[in-house]
Amino acid sequence: MLLDAWLGEPKWLWNRFPHPAVLMGRCVGFIDDTFNNGSHRKDKGIASFAVLVAIFALLGVVLQALPWIWAEIIVGAMLLAQKSLVEHVQDVARALRYSVSEGRKSVAMIVGRDTSDMDEPAVARAAIESAAENFSDGIIAPLFWFIVGGLPGLLVYKITNTADSMIGYRTPKHEQFGWAAARFDDLLNLIPARLTALLFVALRPDLWSFRDIYDDAKLHRSPNAGWPEAALSRVLGLALSGPRAYHGEMRQYPWVNAKGSKLAGPKDIDGAVRHLWIAWGIALGAALLISVF
C-alpha cells in the first residue's frame, strides 16, 4: 500500500512494459474472441473464465513461493491503484476549474457514460461516483483478497474484475458469455463494497445510519457499487447517481442520498479525494494490525 501510494503507476516503466492489468485484459480479450461465438455461449463463458481464473491462481501460487519477498510486494503494489485513482479524479477538478468543456474531456477518461452535454455539477458528480466505486474495486477489494488469499487471492480478484469490466455486460454479445465473470465479480465484491462504505463514514458517525445507506444501496443498478456511493454521498452532503445518458439514451436512474445537494463542483471533488486518503489511512492501519496479529 505504501509503495503504491508513493510511486503510483510510473510512466517511465509502463511506457516500456505492459502493465499487468493490460496483460489481463489481453487474456480476457483472447477468450472473448476465441470462444464467444456460435451456440452454448453461456457454457463456453463459464468454462473459459474458470480456466482463466485457475491459471491466475496458479500464477499467484508460483510467485508467492519465490524466496524473494520483494516479488510479492512489487506485484501487490502493481495491482493496487490508490495514487493513480486520486490523480485521475483530481485531474477532473483541475480541468473543471479551467472550463466545463475541459472537465468533460477529463471525466470522460474515467466514466463510461455520455459526457458531451454535462454541466459542471454533472461532471463533478460523475468524478465523485467514479472515486467511490473505484476506491472499492481498485484498493479495498484487492487488499481484502490479498489479506485473505495472498497473491493467488489478489490475482483471482483482479482477473475477475478485469473480465467483468470487459465482458460482464447485459448486451446481446456478452449477456450469456460474460455471465460467469459478472456473477463472480459480484460475489467477490460483496464484502469489500460494504467495508468501503464503513471506511468512508468511520469518522462521521453523526451523518449517517446503516438503514439509510442500505436503502440507497438497494436502489443502485449494481448490488455492490451503491454502498460506497451511498456512504460517500452522505459524508459530502451530495446527491449522487441519478439520470445519465449512455450511447445517446437517457436513463432515469434513482438518486442516491436524494436529499443531498445536486450542485457539486470542484471543491466537492477535492473533498472526495480527501476522504479517499482518510479511508486509505484507516485501511492501512487495519492492514498493519492484521499483519502484526
Alpha-carbon torsion, ordered 131, 135, 136, 141, to 10 deg:
160
Contacts of 137 (CB under 8 A, 6+ apart): 161, 189
> What pTM, to 2 d.p., does this model score?
0.93
Q: What span, in angstroms and rounded, lies between the C-alpha atoms of 204 and 207?
A: 6
Contact 121, 266 (CB under 8 A): no
Specify the pLDDT at position 261: 92
The span from the CA of 258 to the CA of 65, in Å, is 50
pLDDT of residue 98: 94
Three-class DSSP category at 68: coil
Alpha carbons 156 and 158: distance in angstroms, whole number? 6
d(CA 101, CA 95) in angstroms, rounded, equals 8
Map residue 274 onto helix, strand or coil: helix
Per-residue pLDDT of the chain (293 residues; tens, 9 = 90+): 999 999 888 777 767 888 888 999 999 999 999 999 989 999 999 999 999 999 999 999 999 888 777 888 888 999 999 999 999 999 999 999 999 999 999 999 998 888 888 999 999 999 999 999 999 999 999 999 999 999 999 999 999 999 999 999 888 899 999 999 999 999 999 999 999 999 998 877 776 678 888 899 988 888 899 999 999 999 999 999 888 888 778 888 889 998 999 999 999 999 999 999 999 999 999 999 998 98
| Radius of gyration (C-alpha) of the chain in whole angstroms | 19
